[in-house]
Amino acid sequence: MEPGEIHALLGENGAGKSTLMNVLYGLYQPDEGEILIDGKPLKLRGPSDAIAAGIGMVHQHFMLVPVFTVTENIMLGAEQVRGGIAGFLDRRRARREVAEVSERYNLQVDPDAVIEDLPVGVQQRVEIVKALTRDVDLLILDEPTAVLTPQETEELLAVMRSLKAAGKSIVFITHKLGEVKAIADRITVIRRGKTVGTASPEASRDELAALMVGRTVRLTVDKTPATPGQPVLEVSGLVVDDDRQVRAVDGVDLTVRAGEVLGVAGVQGNGQTELIESIMGLRPVLAGTVALDGQRIDGWSTKKVLRAGVGYVPEDRSVDGLVKEFTVAENLVLDIYDRPPFGRGLSLRPDEIDRSAAERIEQFDVRTSSADAPVGTLSGGNQQKVIVARELSRPLKLFIAAQPTRGVDVGSIEFIHSRVIHERDIGTAVLVVSSELDEVIGLADRIAVMYRGRIIGVVGPDTPREEIGLLMAGIIPDAPGGSPDDGTAPTATTDPDVAATTDADVASDAGTPATTARNVTATTDGVVSADRPGSEDEKDR
């Protein structure tokens, strides 16, 4: 980092950006390696050391006490006091300081406002004021735009420019390419905890996208061409909010036919999670319809959806997929424990449950000491196999797998993939969501790319990776007016966030697929060789 520089740290979710920055802020201790400031190694025992060294951080989840005023939040930890040991707060002085800093950088923060009454964008500026009053030289912004509206993002970028002009250095963590290109002086791309490249902001979006998504273990999936039948799942005009009541799925149309795998690709956080959860009845559908075999299932309870013949592998197995304290056998019947032959009246029939468990363990190659071992003691791959075994033990019309191989070892990945294809071959409709592009390409017969809550394009599996990568970044290659956001975005330079879709020079980038493709191939090849040692440890997290 250099003074007055904005350095973007670009990477997928879970790539290790935030962890790295938390180490830099003293919240986590490094296992090895060191941090140099002005050439001198720095040992951080806690955030106070980091603050003393001139490092400030704006966390992804704001570190503000909601019931305190702005001034109280900013004072906290660095209180000006009078009256010796009694330590009376000098509110007036703190208030003046807040007003001053707010004024100097044009942050427009009211010192007396209570945090919980303020909009998110203003809260973020409070965080920035908090760092600035502590005289930091280096400010870390962890995914600052994730919670902001486009207008607020615009304001934030302006603030960052004025900070830069004042000689402050900024580390800007994000996975949004548009913002990076708009503001960064230098870009470092991180993937799976390693630096995979640095770039200048002049690098094209597709180069950046390729670096970011990269290429992990190349897995080939043996499969024959699909023989799609009737539509099984039909989603139309679906609108869903996320937990913060922000629109996450914004009018999605999707059809999955019997005997085909539809893969949903996309950078994480573009509405995939909410899409699947709303189909499963885990999240309310605000508008639009979901139909299974022609029957509307939106508004149904999850249990009813499951009983209608839908199998579901949730994104986060430890939270939604398994009861870790329960045994393998118990987890295998979580969905049908109350049905014959496993339950009768009020009682369970342990003998039936054990017998069936032994069968499944054999059939799905679950490596466990016994069927009575708590499922939490199994490795990630075997836990995932338990879920897959459970879900595929019922006759299914539709099988939904979200991130089916996240944090799973290579052997289990292959096994799970072959089961998915097997399910397709016996005529089930399969919907796979993954942030691993290779997985989607390997499994899917058709690939739908999600971007900002919409399906931005549906392509075949033999589409070049580069083209899919562009779609994931919100760029529609040689699309004649097919952009989802077209028309409304202002000129490219002033709207970095959605510049993607209307950006003239990006369009020309994309318009010459031949050269682009060659560049990117070179880049990704380099990445593969660089990445190989790291990819051997299969632990994703």
Partner 1 sequence: MSTTAVPDVAVAAVNEGFWTRTRKVGLVLVALGLLATVLFGALATGEQARFTLSEDAAGAALEVNGTVGAIVFGLITLAAGAAMLAGLPKRWFIPVLAVGLVAFVFSFLCWQVSAAPTGQNFMPLVNIVRGTFLLALPLIFGSLAGVLCERSGVVNVAIEGQLLMGAFSGALFGSISGSVWVGLIAAAIGGSFISLLLAVFSIRYLVDQVVMGIVLNLLAVGITGFLYERLMQTDAARYNSAPRFSNWEIPLLSEIPVLGPALFRGNIFLYLALLLVLVIHIALFRTRWGLRTRSVGEHPTAADTLGVKVLGLRYRNVIMAGAVAGIGGASYTLALFSFTKNMIGGKGFIALAALIFGRWSPTGALLAALFFGFADQLATYLGAINSVIPGQFLAMLPYLATILAVAGLVGRVRAPAADGKPYIKG
Q: In this complex, which beta carbon is closest to partner 1, that of residue 66 or of residue 167? A: 66
Residue 504 lies near partner 1 (rule: CB under 8 A): no
Residue from 57, 126, 264, 279 in contact with partner 1 (CB under 8 A): 57
Residue 534 lies near partner 1 (rule: CB under 8 A): no
- Distance spanning both ends of the chain, measured CA to CA: 27
Smallest gap, in angstroms, from Cβ of residue 51 to partner 1? 6
Residue 63 lies near partner 1 (rule: CB under 8 A): yes
> What are 375-378's contacts with CB under 8 Å, separation 24+?
375/322, 375/323, 375/324, 375/326, 375/327, 375/328, 375/331, 376/322, 376/324, 376/325, 378/328
Residue type at position 349: R
Residue from 8, 9, 23, 51 in contact with partner 1 (CB under 8 A): 51
Residue 299 lies near partner 1 (rule: CB under 8 A): no
Residue 42 lies near partner 1 (rule: CB under 8 A): no
> Roughly what angle, to the nearest 10 degrees, separates helices 513-535 and 205-213?
20
Beta-sheet strand order (sheet of 138-142)? 55-58, 138-142, 169-174, 6-11, 186-191, 194-199
Query: In angstroms, rounded to a whole number, what is the distance separating the alpha carbons of residues 68 and 431?
Result: 46
Q: What per-residue string of b and e applies to 272-305 under the rule 16 or more CB within 10 Å gives b?
A: bbbbbbbbbbbbebeebebbbbeeebbebeeeeb
- Selected range binding partner 1 among 77-85, 209-217, 329-337, 511-519, rule: CB under 8 A: 77-85
Residue from 28, 100, 318, 343 in contact with partner 1 (CB under 8 A): 28
Smallest gap, in angstroms, from Cβ of residue 153 to partner 1? 11
Query: In angstroms, rounded to a whole number, what is the distance separating the alpha carbons of residues 380 and 61?
Result: 28
Judged by DSSP in three states, 432 sits in strand
Residue from 3, 13, 30, 65 in contact with partner 1 (CB under 8 A): 65
Q: Is 529 exposed, middle or buried (0-12, 13-18, 19+ CB in 10 A)?
A: exposed
Smallest gap, in angstroms, from Cβ of residue 162 to partner 1? 24
Q: In this complex, which beta carbon is closest to partner 1, that of residue 51 or of residue 387? A: 51
Residue 488 lies near partner 1 (rule: CB under 8 A): yes
Residue 150 lies near partner 1 (rule: CB under 8 A): yes
Q: In this complex, which beta carbon is closest to partner 1, that of residue 51 or of residue 473? A: 51
Query: In angstroms, rounded to a whole number, what is the distance separating the alpha carbons of residues 53 and 136?
Result: 8
Compose the 260-289 pattern: x for residues touching partner 1 by CB under 8 A, - for all others. --------------------------xxx-
Chain residues binding partner 1 by CB under 8 A are 25, 27-28, 46-48, 51, 57, 59, 62-68, 72-73, 75-79, 81, 86-89, 150, 237, 239, 247, 250-251, 286-288, 452, 485-489, 498
